[in-house]
Amino acid sequence: MINSGTPSQFGVGEKILKPLAYWPVVLAILFCALPVHRCVCASTRQCELIPGRDGKDLTRGNKRVVVGAPNGWEVKKLPTPMPIWFKPRDFEVTLGPVGQSDCPFITVEASHRGRHNTVEVTPRNSSLAGNLDVEFKELRRIDSFDAGVNGILDVWRIRTYNDNYLLVLLVQPDAEGRTEVDVYLSSENPAQLTQCLNSLKEVARSIRIVDR
């Protein structure tokens, strides 16, 4: 005969598991409440970036970076729906030709260099180089152009053991250090990069580094 006054093992398990079922909801609420900056896209043609933190003092400076896509190009958005734990990278944006996904994309990455970081910014110690973390097989300046308010900028060709890049670097002082913007193309096929060189220059001309 079963004693009805004693809770079954299933009843105990139910009591333990029931509170756990609410945790995903609680975590979702907390995630949404976090004060994080996000890449703000006013349209499919324009985005605002907040420079990434300096790796040593974790500061982000006092600037934001406005980026515009050339004619026929658009901001490539992240796939949706995204997992709840995914935090968008608010310091970079990817641009590509409208309706295409099989050609080189232009990446724009903004980063902050704190007051203590006084080393000259070059392609070899740029954010792109840090992300690649590989030896350059080739580094050569292939062009210079008038970028309007951003001055005369150089175009650098970089080759690693498995890829090719075209890089334009912008560096602007701010009250808390310097703002660095890397604008680059990447492809296994160097000829593809040359075809998109004018679009790379247009993106560099569009960039505005303004106060937050």
pLDDT digits 0-9 by tens, 143-195: 999 999 999 999 999 999 989 999 999 999 988 999 999 999 999 888 889 99
Plot region of 77 (φ>0 → left; ψ -120 to 50 → alpha; else → beta): beta
Helix (H) or strand (E) holding 109: strand 106-114
Q: In which residue are the tokens 């499919």 written?
A: 44
Specify the number of domains making up the chain: 1
Which residues span the domain enclosing 43?
37-211
Residue-level pLDDT at 193 = 93
Residue 69 lies in a domain: yes
Q: Which amino acid is at 139?
A: L
126 is a domain residue: yes
Whether 14 maps to a domain, the answer reads no
What pLDDT band is residue 89 in, cutting at 50, 70 and 90? confident
Instruction: Judge whether residue 2 has pLDDT over 50.
Output: no
**The two three-digit tokens of residue 70, written as one number:** 């050339």
Cβ contacts of 8 within 8 Å, gap of 6 or more: none
Q: Show Cβ contacts of residue 174 under 8 Å, excluding neighbours closer than 6 positions.
A: 61, 62, 63, 209
With respect to residue 123, please indicate whether it lies within any of the assigned structural domains: yes
* CA distance to 168, 186, 194, per residue, from 197 (Å): 10, 11, 5
d(CA 108, CA 137): 23
Model pLDDT, residue 76: 84
The encoded tokens of residue 77 equal 């958005």
What value does the mean pLDDT of the chain take?
81
Whether 15 shows a pLDDT value over 70: the answer reads no
What's the confidence (pLDDT) of residue 79?
57
Q: Is residue 48 part of a domain?
A: yes
Q: Which residue has the higher pLDDT, 85 or 156?
A: 156
Distance CA 90, CA 38 (A): 5
Question: Is 80 exceeded by the pLDDT of residue 9?
Answer: no
Q: How many helices and strands, by DSSP H and E, does the chain display?
A: 5, 11
Segment 124-138, tens digit of pLDDT: 999 999 999 999 999
Portion of the chain with pLDDT greater than 70, in percent: 74
Highest mean pLDDT among 13-17, 19-23, 43-47, 162-166 belongs to 162-166
Kindly state whether residue 143 falls inside one of the protein's structural domains. Answer: yes
Contacts of 73 by beta carbon, 8 Å cutoff, 6+ apart: 45, 95, 96, 97, 98, 106, 199
Q: What is the pLDDT of residue 31?
A: 35
Please determine, for residue 109, whether its predicted confidence score (pLDDT) is greater than 80. yes
Residue 30 lies in a domain: no
Q: What percent of the chain has a predicted confidence (pLDDT) above 90?
A: 59
Cα distances from 160 to residues 132, 180, 190, 197, in angstroms, run: 9, 22, 12, 19
Domain harbouring 49, CATH code = 3.40.1000.10
User: Is a pLDDT exceeding 50 seen at residue 36?
Assistant: no
